Amino acid sequence: MFIVMLGVPGAGKGTQAQRLEERLGLRQVSTGDIFRENLRNQTPLGQLAKSYMDKGELVPDDVTIQMVEERLSRPDCARGAILDGFPRTLAQAAALDQMLSGKGQKVALVPLISVTDDEVMARLTGRRVCRRCQSVFHLLFNRPPPDGECPQGDKSQCDIYQRGDDQPETVRNRLFVYYKQTSPLIGYYFAHGLLAEINGAQEIDRVTSDLWDVLSRIQA
């Protein structure tokens, strides 16, 4: 089963994808995380992505599509994946359909997590992320573990940091880019009968429970 998480930056796509990953036993594939990992490892892809991410712009489609195609070809995605941050343009959506149809598969559901722009600003300025396990926290709504222990339970300590693109000016541009380039996907997936709007302005557990209800309906 391939699930595409859709929503503005900061809607909670990553937070919910991590929870679905555990429940469904499907891999979360986050294009933002893959770019950041490449950046940490100082690969040419990481250097290229940085020049776009720092400004809140999208990395070019050809580079992103090739990277996702390679990621989805690995055995841990054979049963499906939770796509977090991809597709983000109509060209990427068409490429994904093509990739999946080549394997006799298709997108099963597109949850659209809805929140207001003001909520996004509050969330992203308070967001903190672990460099090691990629767990997402918030200084007020979802605090990092006080003892520093990694929630993945591997006994290591979390290495918490603030993302460079979570500065208010960059967040504003990321929102602009979303409305211009990504929001047309709402119509695309609505037309394919795959869109399920979820109210993201609720407590994290409540959003998970609404998501789970929608998923249960398509699995039934």
Helical packing angle, 204-219 and 13-24, nearest 10°: 50
3-class SS of residue 102? coil
Q: How far, in Å, CA of 172 to CA of 117, rounded?
A: 9
Spatial distance between the Cα atoms of 93 and 168, rounded to a whole number of angstroms: 28
* Residue nearer to ligand AP5 on the CB measure, 201 or 218: 201
Of the CA atoms within 13 Å of residue 30, those in its CB half-sphere come to 19
Coil, strand or helix: which one is 111?
strand
Does position 56 bind ligand AP5 by CB under 6 A? yes
Which residue, 11 or 220, is less far from ligand AP5 as judged by CB? 11
Candidates 82, 86, 130, 215; binder of ligand AP5 (CB under 6 A) is 86
Cβ atoms within 10 Å of 117's Cβ, excluding its own: 14
Q: How far is 97 from 100, CA to CA, in rounded Å?
A: 5
Nearer to ligand AP5, 2 or 86 (CB): 86
Q: How far is the CB of 220 from ligand AP5 (least distance, A)?
A: 26
Instruction: Write the binding mask 160 to 199 for ligand AP5: x where contact by CB under 6 A, - elsewhere.
Output: -----x--------x-------------------------
Q: Of residues 90-129, which lie at the interface with ligand AP5 (CB under 6 A)?
A: 92, 123-124, 126-127
Residue 10 binds ligand AP5, judged by CB under 6 A = yes
* Position 88 contacts ligand AP5 (CB under 6 A): yes
Kindly report the backbone phi and psi dihedral angles of residue 49, in degrees, each rounded to the nearest multiple of 5, phi listed first.
-60, -40
Binding interface with ligand AP5 (CB under 6 A): 7, 9-15, 31-32, 35, 52-53, 56-59, 64, 85-86, 88, 92, 123-124, 126-127, 136-138, 141-142, 165, 174, 200, 202-204, 207
